[in-house]
């Protein structure tokens, strides 16, 4: 049978190939047995807009029912943060999200969430993996049986989330004309929530379409050209927001239609929470995030920790320590005062609140940041290459055979998770294989975008001459 392994954020596989009803039953059965061994009795299940989401979530619910675990099932598709918040609000022990996040539309997945409302920690994920049995498991209960036995309850997780937003943000202030929003849901699960929060927003790709029009719903610039163009050509729009398929990641645009990456958003969140809201705490960033976060945190006297790539590492620390801001390059950001979870809508709301309260555009706020940490640009190339070539490149890095990028010498190397080669204190390139796709990711930072492009191009030639 297929081997089921969790990557950086859940188990993901191609629908009807490895992602099948039988395999969803196997991984759910392992989760249920793991929960039973710890006297856990209640789980929240939600699904996003992908093909088969309702079917797979109902299959998972029936498996939990076989183990006498009560299921709270979402009414309709929901975002991952809605499930995570729902766990906290309903006092559940665990959560399952049927989603493949930002992966191509042919994928679906299975994320585990814990009682604190964030990703289950790596050591516990490993324990669940070890319980996955190599056999076909038959379903012996129905949803009707569960309903009659008090083991199934439907909840409007989107309404729970919306009520929480209303309690924590001054939506009237943000809807008074200071923020003119264009929102691209990328056909993902954030669409209905943002429509309710910002009824006057210009909406893109906010209809139900499990095919995502053939595009991976990842909120990076090359996938958001229409959003950029819409803002650039408008005389009134001054902010763009985009979320991925399950709305836990974020991408933003300034009033000129320029992409604002996660590095800048993390800096803006730290800037806002510390200087304007008077909040403190530790700063947690993954290995691919800009060192400018360290520089700003040091100015504020805040401790910084760098983790491996994967939000689960950040979430684990957030459950144990006082963390102000945590985040990763791929658009997953979290803050103090909310659940220890990536939440693309919540982070967007914080940036909009920052704009509304200061009366400044996101571009103006970024210029204020540059006065503190210096200007910089960032980009990432995803190289779709053969597994053989990918392994050859990684082996070359491991053996220390990469000493130059083009005609520039590497001054130091860091290897927390991948290989980060510094060309100067403000310029670096990082190489890391994807944990979920046959892709080699190449990241770069420089003072401007021309410098970034030059480093990326030189890296390609160096690694694959």
User: pLDDT for 435-452, tens place per residue?
Assistant: 656 789 999 999 999 999
390 has a pLDDT exceeding 90: no
Structure token pair of residue 187: 């056909």
pLDDT tens sequence across 274-291: 999 999 999 999 999 999
Instruction: Map residue 59 onto helix, strand or coil.
Output: helix
- Kindly calculate the radius of gyration of the chain based on its CA atoms and give it in whole angstroms: 22
Instruction: Map residue 424 onto helix, strand or coil.
Output: strand
Query: Helices 292-300 & 362-373, crossing angle to 10 degrees?
Result: 80
pLDDT at 437: 67
Domain ranges of the chain: 11-160, 169-373, 377-463
Could you give the C-alpha distances from 384 to 13, 394, 460, in angstroms and in order? 18, 14, 12
Instruction: Map residue 311 onto helix, strand or coil.
Output: helix
17 band by pLDDT with thresholds 50, 70 and 90:
very high
92 has a pLDDT exceeding 90: yes
Structure token pair of residue 78: 């929901």
Q: Which residues contact 163 (CB under 8 A, 6 or more apart)?
A: none
Contact 320, 331 (CB under 8 A): no
Burial class of residue 423 (count of CB atoms within 10 Å of its CB; 0-12, 13-18, 19+): buried
419 has a pLDDT exceeding 90: yes
pLDDT at 177: 77
pLDDT at 280: 98
Please state, in angstroms and rounded to a whole number, the distance separating the CA atoms of residues 351 and 38. 40
CA-nearest of 388, 398, 401 to 440 is 388
Structural fold of domain 11-160: Alpha-D-Glucose-1,6-Bisphosphate; Chain A, domain 3 (3.40.120)
pLDDT at 24: 98
465 has a pLDDT exceeding 80: no
DSSP-assigned beta bridge partners for residue 431: 419, 442
The DSSP output letter for 11 is E
Instruction: Map residue 376 onto helix, strand or coil.
Output: coil
331 band by pLDDT with thresholds 50, 70 and 90:
confident
384 band by pLDDT with thresholds 50, 70 and 90:
confident
Contact 243, 266 (CB under 8 A): no
Determine the average pLDDT of the residues in 210-227: 95
pLDDT at 436: 59
The DSSP output letter for 50 is S
Give backbone dihedrals phi and psi of 153, rounded to 5 degrees, phi first. -140, 135
pLDDT tens sequence across 164-179: 999 999 999 998 878 9
Same topology, domains 11-160 and 169-373? Answer is yes
DSSP string, 231-260: HHT-SS--EEEEE-TTS-SEEEE-TTS-EE
Q: Which residues contact 123 (CB under 8 A, 6 or more apart)?
A: none
Please state, in angstroms and rounded to a whole number, the distance separating the CA atoms of residues 452 and 10. 31
205 has a pLDDT exceeding 80: yes
Contact 244, 219 (CB under 8 A): yes
Please state, in angstroms and rounded to a whole number, the distance separating the CA atoms of residues 380 and 428. 12
Work out the mean pLDDT of the chain and round it to a whole number.
95
Share of the chain above pLDDT 90, in %: 91
Q: Which CATH class is domain 169-373?
A: alpha beta
Q: Which CATH class is domain 377-463?
A: alpha beta
32 band by pLDDT with thresholds 50, 70 and 90:
very high
307 band by pLDDT with thresholds 50, 70 and 90:
very high
pLDDT at 42: 98
Q: Which residues contact 3 (CB under 8 A, 6 or more apart)?
A: none
CA 187 to chain centre: 16
Burial class of residue 249 (count of CB atoms within 10 Å of its CB; 0-12, 13-18, 19+): buried
Give backbone dihedrals phi and psi of 118, rounded to 5 degrees, phi first. -155, 180
Q: Which residues contact 207 (CB under 8 A, 6 or more apart)?
A: 187, 191
Contact 168, 227 (CB under 8 A): no
Distance, first Cα to last Cα, the chain: 39
pTM attached to this predicted model: 0.93
In 90-103, which positions are buried (b, 16+ CB within 10 angstroms) versus exposed (e)? bebbbbbbbbbbbb
377 has a pLDDT exceeding 70: yes
Q: Which residues contact 125 (CB under 8 A, 6 or more apart)?
A: 6, 112, 312
């Amino acid at each position: 049978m297929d081997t089921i392994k969790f990557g950086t954020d859940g188990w993901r596989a191609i629908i009807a190939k490895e992602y099948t009803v039988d395999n969803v039953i196997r991984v759910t059965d392992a989760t249920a047995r793991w929960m039973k061994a710890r006297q856990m009795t209640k789980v929240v299940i939600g699904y996003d807009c992908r093909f088969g989401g309702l079917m797979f979530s109902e299959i998972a619910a029936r498996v939990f029912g076989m183990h006498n675990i009560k299921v709270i099932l979402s009414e309709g598709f929901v975002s991952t943060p809605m499930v995570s918040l729902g766990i906290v609000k309903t006092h559940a022990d665990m959560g399952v999200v049927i989603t493949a996040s930002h992966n191509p539309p042919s994928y679906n997945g299975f994320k585990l969430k814990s009682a604190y409302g964030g990703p289950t920690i790596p050591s516990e994920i490993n324990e669940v993996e070890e319980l996955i049995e190599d056999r076909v498991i038959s379903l012996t209960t129905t949803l009707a049986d569960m309903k009659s036995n008090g083991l199934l309850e439907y909840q409007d997780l989107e309404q729970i989330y919306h009520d929480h937003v209303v309690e924590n943000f001054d939506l009237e202030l943000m809807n008074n004309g200071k923020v003119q929003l264009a929102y691209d849901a990328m056909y993902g699960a954030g669409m209905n929530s943002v429509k309710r929060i910002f009824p006057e927003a210009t909406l893109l790709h906010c209809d139900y379409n499990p095919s995502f029009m053939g595009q991976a719903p990842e909120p990076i610039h090359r996938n958001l050209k229409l959003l950029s163009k819409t803002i650039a050509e408008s005389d009134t729009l001054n902010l763009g927001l985009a979320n991925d398929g399950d709305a836990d990641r974020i991408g933003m645009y300034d009033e000129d239609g320029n992409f604002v990456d996660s590095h800048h958003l993390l800096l803006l969140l730290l800037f806002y929470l510390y200087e304007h809201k008077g909040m403190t705490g530790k700063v947690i960033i993954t290995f691919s995030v800009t060192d400018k976060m360290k520089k700003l945190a040091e100015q504020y006297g805040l401790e910084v920790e760098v983790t491996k790539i994967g939000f689960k590492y950040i979430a684990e620390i957030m459950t144990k320590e006082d963390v102000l801001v945590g985040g990763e390059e791929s658009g997953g950001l979290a803050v103090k005062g909310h659940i220890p979870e990536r939440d693309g809508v919540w982070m967007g709301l914080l940036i909009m609140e920052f704009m509304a309260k200061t009366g400044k555009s996101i571009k103006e706020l970024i210029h204020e940041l540059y006065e503190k940490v210096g200007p910089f640009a960032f980009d990432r190339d995803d190289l779709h290459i053969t597994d053989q070539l990918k392994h050859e490149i990684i082996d070359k890095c491991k053996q220390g055979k990469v000493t130059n990028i083009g005609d520039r010498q590497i001054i130091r190397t860091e290897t927390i998770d991948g290989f980060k080669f510094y060309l100067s204190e403000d310029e670096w390139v990082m190489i890391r294989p994807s944990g979920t796709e046959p892709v080699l990711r190449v990241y770069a930072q420089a003072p401007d975008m021309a410098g970034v492009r030059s480093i990326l191009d030189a890296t390609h030639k160096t690694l694959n001459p």
